[in-house]
Amino acid sequence: MPSFVIQKHKATTLHYDFRLEVKGVLKSWVLPKGPSTDPSDKRLAIQTEDHSIEYADFEGVIPEGEYGAGTVIVWDKGIYKNQKDDQTISEGISKGHITFRLEGKKLKGGYSLTFFRKDKNELWILVKTDDEYADARRNPVSTQKESVLTGRTIEEVEEENG
């Protein structure tokens, strides 16, 4: 099964990078507010450059002046499954709509990503499917801040490298 990763990234602004392994690369979206477990939340997802598969495990500090400068932790990681029988994830991304099930440490169950507009970037919306893992009261972005790889917060990684 292909993998997914969410990296918390403290750059010019704090955001979360949501990445899905598709055909040997990580298709990537910036989530300014991070993911939600509440199906009534619509979270903006700005499509950004594909990243290499190896980047999925990156945690640390990217020096100033380099692409993505700032501090990164692996906030969640796992595998995902395409929920559509009649199209691949790659086809779905081209058409602007995918649904998939995540099996991460923090995020589980169905999510959908839907394209809605192009300005400077392609703008999508990430929504939790209303399934057994939907939970409007959970807020893992604020209650589960640690890296799933090392248990460190982004502030701890920043200090260790400061």
Stretch that binds Mn ion, among 17-25, 34-42, 56-64, 149-157 (CB under 5 A): 17-25
Q: Which is nearer to Mn ion, 18 or 39 (CB)?
A: 18
**Does the protein bind Mn ion through residue 19 (CB under 5 A)?**
no
Shortest reach from residue 16's CB to Mn ion, in Å: 8
> Could you say which of 6, 17, 43, 100 contacts Mn ion (CB under 5 A)?
17
Find, among 118, 109, 144, 117, the residue nearest to 38 by Cα: 109
Task: Compute the least distance from the CB of residue 104 to Mn ion, in Å.
Answer: 18
Separation CA 63–CA 133 (nearest Å): 38
Task: Tell me how far apart the alpha carbons of residues 99 and 74 are, in angstroms, rounded to a whole number.
Answer: 22
Q: How far is 83 from 137, CA to CA, in rounded Å?
A: 25
Which parts of this chain interact with Mn ion (CB under 5 A)?
A: 9, 17
